Amino acid sequence: MNVYAVILCGGSGTRLWPLSRKKKPKQFLSLGSDSLSLLQNTVERVKSFIPKERRWLVTVEDQADLVKEQVGEDIGRVILEPAPRNTSLAVALAAYELKKHDPDAIMVILPSDHFIENVRSFEKTLEEAISFAKKDFYAVIGITPTFPATGFGYIECYEPLFQGDTRIGYTVRSFREKPHQAAAEQFLKTGKYLWNAGMFVWKVQSFWEAFSEFQPETIELLEKSTESDFKKNYSLAPALPIDITFVEKARNLVCIEAHFDWNDMGNWSAVWEGFSSTLQENAVRGETYIENTSGCLIHSTGPFIATLGIKDLAIIATSDALLVADMKAVQDVKKVIEYLNLHGKTDLL
């Protein structure tokens, strides 16, 4: 009765440019073959076991209208950040509000921009994490790697954890952030590493006590800022991920191994994997003509696209921008963002 979903919905999703923009970041987009946005699917996944009044969402003020439009009827409370300051401050703000509302609450912290299949297995994984949270453990969800990804964080597992005769996870030895290719390949070979999905489960009171030890400045900001200076103090706070400020420092940490298919939709290659590829081994959305084309992601919300004799490309078109990239180079979309910022082309951001 005291389990709350805390959905983090303040990201910018710049690696999915030109479709993801400041005015409508990736969590509000429908990608692949799905008609629902990533945010809408996130809410749908928790509906069956967390009621509306215990579904909370954290977003920035600029995205409040989009949240209301897409999931306003399905969210019990929306917490607004004055400015985006990464996940550490967003989680702390949610915990601050939640501990006042329900000091015995268990927080199930979920990103709003992931692609997940096997919803019942997703529920089962969270149930296992919640069972450990009730015993004052901090639970992080780990995903079994399927390839040597260099864009994900990794969890180094240690001793196995069991429920009865079934292994459900591990204690944690260490965390490794976005390794280079050789290290990622070694991680995969050892079988001792899981991807860090950025999903966490813990008691709000236990979190607050430990977080106060690790990040006293953040606690002071939340507890002592007045109504008149809160926005200024919040906007000037360091923008850090919760992994660095808390998870990697926490004691009583466990990793629950996921039982579901997962994709973080972090770049166009990941989106390609989330598509239903049914036309000549390509992932296609929008009005197109395709001839002698394979291994491509073709997504248009604007012009008609025709392709002839190409392979392994991402082609993303909107009404005012076009991205054409080798599928192996989609991580470099950040260079386009840097160029647009440098040259003042804010209308394309």
Q: What is the pLDDT of residues 213-270, one digit of tens each?
A: 999 999 999 999 998 999 999 999 999 999 999 999 999 999 999 989 898 888 898 8
Mean pLDDT, the chain, rounded, equals 92
| Residue found by looking up tokens 């639970």 in the block | 139
What's the rounded Cα separation, in Å, for the pair 221 and 233?
7
Is residue 83 classed as helix, strand or coil in its secondary structure? coil
What beta strand segments (E) does the chain contain? 3-8, 55-60, 77-81, 106-111, 115-116, 138-143, 154-163, 166-176, 193-203, 253-257, 262-263, 283-285, 288-291, 297-300, 305-308, 313-317, 322-326
**Is the backbone of residue 344 left (phi > 0), alpha (psi -120 to 50) or beta?**
left
d(CA 60, CA 73): 18
pLDDT in tens, 8-17: 998 888 899 9
13: left (phi over 0), alpha (psi -120 to 50) or beta: left
* Range with top average pLDDT, 92-106, 112-126, 156-170, 288-302: 92-106
Instruction: Supply angle C-alpha 274, 153, 146, rounded to 5.
Output: 45
Q: Which domains does the chain have, with CATH numbers?
A: 3-266 (3.90.550.10), 269-348 (no CATH)
**Contact present, 318 and 309 (Cβ < 8 Å):** no
Distance CA 66, CA 25 (A): 10
Mind listing the pLDDT tens digit for each residue in 45-75?
A: 999 999 999 999 999 999 999 999 999 999 9
Residue-level pLDDT at 279: 47
- Give the pLDDT of residue 55: 98
Over residues 144-202, the pLDDT tens digits come to: 998 888 888 999 999 988 878 888 889 999 999 888 889 999 999 999 999 999 999 99
d(CA 246, CA 20): 29
Residue 124's pLDDT is what?
94
DSSP code of residue 247: I
Q: What pLDDT is stored for residue 30 in this prediction?
A: 87
Instruction: Report d(CA 62, CA 24) in Å as an integer.
Output: 10
